[in-house]
Amino acid sequence: GELHQVVNYLNHKLNGLTIDQVTASLINELKRDLFRRLEILEQAFLLLEESLKEEEQVGVYLGGTTNILNQPEFKDVEKVRRLFSLFEQETLLSKLLEKSSDAHQVVVNIGQENMLQDIHECTLVTATYSIQDKTLGTVGILGPTRMEYSRVIGIISYLVDYLNLILSASK
């Protein structure tokens, strides 16, 4: 499972390179990328644990929202204010996430594909987790449209697969 994904990632990144081309800085870059993925997964699992404490309660759980401030697209205070205002509107966020709940696959909404104008300059990547075709929730990552799509889709896919595995084993 996890080891296979790490091996695939390393094969993808190192494919075609000679041993001389594998430098210490490249290795450090790969480690940083893997740790960033791990941080996102840790945040997602913390949010999942929090949501599972409140069984059957519908809710939206946010984490890592201040990370968006690190992105150059969000240096405009008004843009950030609108985005953070959206984060406080649970009903709107819930509707936004419900849109992808029927897909049973990773859904990527880029820019104006997003139904809310406040995130037209963002990409929202979502996927649902379920038990026996009963959708339990949706996880998502919101970021700039220039995000590393393959990395984010990989993280969401892995997280949903893992959640489905854990949830089906616990029933």
User: What six digits make up the tokens of 52?
Assistant: 């599972």
Q: How confident is the model at residue 103, as a pLDDT? A: 63
Domains in the chain, number? 1
pTM value? 0.65
Q: What is the rounded CA–CA span in Å between residue 96 and residue 140?
A: 10
Q: How confident is the model at residue 58, as a pLDDT? A: 59
> Where in the sequence is the domain holding 81, given as residue range(s)?
2-170
Inter-residue contact 143 to 71 (CB < 8 Å): yes
Q: How confident is the model at residue 50, as a pLDDT? A: 65
At 84-132, the pLDDT tens digits run: 888 888 888 888 887 766 666 899 999 998 888 888 889 999 898 887 7
Terminal CA-CA length for the chain: 21
Going by C-alpha positions, the residue among 91, 85, 140, 148 that lies closest to residue 118 is 85
User: What six digits make up the tokens of 51?
Assistant: 């949501």
Q: What is the rounded CA–CA span in Å between residue 43 and residue 55?
A: 19
CATH number at residue 130: 3.30.450.40
Q: DSSP assignment of 133-166, as one string?
A: TEEEEEEEEEEETTS-HHHHHHHHHHHHHHHHHH
Q: How confident is the model at residue 145, as a pLDDT? A: 92
pLDDT in tens, the chain (171 residues): 666 777 777 888 888 888 888 888 888 888 888 888 777 777 777 766 666 555 555 567 777 788 888 888 888 888 888 888 888 888 888 888 877 666 668 999 999 988 888 888 899 998 988 877 778 888 888 889 999 898 899 888 888 888 888 777 765
Question: Between helices 24-53 and 2-14, what is the axis angle to 10°?
Answer: 150
Q: What is the rounded CA–CA span in Å between residue 69 and residue 52?
A: 28
